[in-house]
Amino acid sequence: MTICHDKINIALPTKRQVTELWKSTRTILKFDDLDSTGSTLTLVNVLSGLVTQLGGLRNALGDAHGKGILSTEVSECIAELAINTASTLSTIIIRRFNQISGGAK
């Protein structure tokens, strides 16, 4: 999401939270305008929830904030779900960026 902002010279949100970054990215990539019927709007709204939940999952279960010697065990299926969800989100952001920017590098 940060790279999308950088490539089209749009400042990052002042609040350094993933939810704010998603809101800004959603706007610049015009996700709300994906189809004229609005039938994909619900799906796009679900993406917002996924971004929020992945951020929370990272904070709660990840080791980025220093958890000490005893860290929380994460089941393989939850780890796989988080990885696949992040991959899907990244893919749609990249594809949408390329779609509206003509593949700007």
102: three-class secondary structure by DSSP: coil
Residue 48 falls inside a structural domain: no
> Burial of 36 by CB count in 10 Å (0-12 exposed, 13-18 middle, 19+ buried)?
exposed
pLDDT band with cut points at 50, 70 and 90 for residue 14: very high
Range of the domain at 81: 1-36+75-105
Residue at 3 is within a domain: yes
Q: In total, how many domains does the chain have? A: 1
Range with the lowest mean pLDDT among 3-7, 29-33, 34-38, 90-94?
Answer: 34-38
In a domain? residue 53: no
Within 1-105, residue ranges assigned H as helices are 2-7, 18-28, 41-61, 76-101
pTM for the structure as a whole? 0.75
What are the pLDDT digits (tens) for 59-75?
A: 777 666 566 666 667 78
| Rounded (5°) CA angle 13-89-34 | 80
Return the C-alpha torsion angle 57, 73, 84, 46, nearest 10.
-30
